[in-house]
Copies of this chain bind each other. A is one copy, B any other.
Amino acid sequence: MELSKRQETILEIVKHHGPITGTEIAGQLGLSRAALRPDLAILTMSGMLGARPRVGYYCTGKEPTDFIASLLANISVAEAHSQPIVVKESSSVYDAIVSMFIEDVGSLIVVSEGGYLEGIVSRKDLLKAAMGGQGLNKLPTNVVMTRMPNVIVTYPEESVVRAAEKLINQQVDSLPVVVANKVGNEEKFQVIGRFTKTNITRLFVQLAGK
């Protein structure tokens, strides 16, 4: 967001003299209050200035990107995730590798017979197993996966920003999108999608209007 010279000047005035009324700002600039209205609207809408009735304008210390922040915070994982690609925990590592190539994904979600989340297996896990050598046909996937409760998950209603933070902070490429279900006394995660850095990159391109 590029500010005009006049908007920059208004910000400076408010920074030094705030809280200050619109009429007082106009006075300092030798302009009418009405002439300043569009500039003040832009500065308050972008979040850089706050306004309090009978008190005046004050600096919030926020940057114009906070405008983007509030927009991004309103996009949920449900609007951006992909279909989950799953394997049964009893599948062999060999079959998992074949699935990964066929589906062309970076990680597979490992589920129990009932379809609940048990773990996640990455290309790195599979490469490590393949380097280990023998018997990939007989090695079950659940031996090489990251297993619950160590799997980082996201939820359809979570914001994409929070999910992106998890991807960065936990250094993973993909999060299972889950819904919690009570099964007997246990809470189990039903897998309804996967959320990846590719989803974020796609969203990024969309936001840029391409």
Contacts and interface: CB of A to CB of B under 8 A. Distances in A.
Interface stretch (A64-72, A111-119, A139-147, A148-156): A64-72
B208 A73 contact: yes
* Majority secondary structure of chain A interface residues (helix, strand, loop or mixed): helix
Q: Which interface residue of A101, A165, A208 has the most chain B CB atoms within 10 A?
A: A208
How often does this chain occur in the complex, in copies? 2
Contact of A127 (B38, B97, B197): B97
B209 A63 contact: yes
A55 interface: no
Contact of A106 (B131, B136, B168, B173): B173
A83 interface: no
Nearest to A210: B165
A45 interface: yes
A115 to B, nearest CB: 27
Given A165-B205, A173-B197, 7 more contacts: A39-B41, A41-B42, A69-B207, A100-B127, A123-B127, A130-B130, A201-B201
26 contacts: A37-B38, A38-B41, A65-B207, A68-B209, A69-B207, A69-B209, A72-B204, A97-B131, A101-B128, A106-B123, A123-B124, A130-B130, A131-B136, A160-B204, A161-B208, A164-B204, A164-B208, A165-B205, A168-B201, A168-B202, A173-B197, A197-B200, A200-B200, A200-B201, A203-B204, A204-B204
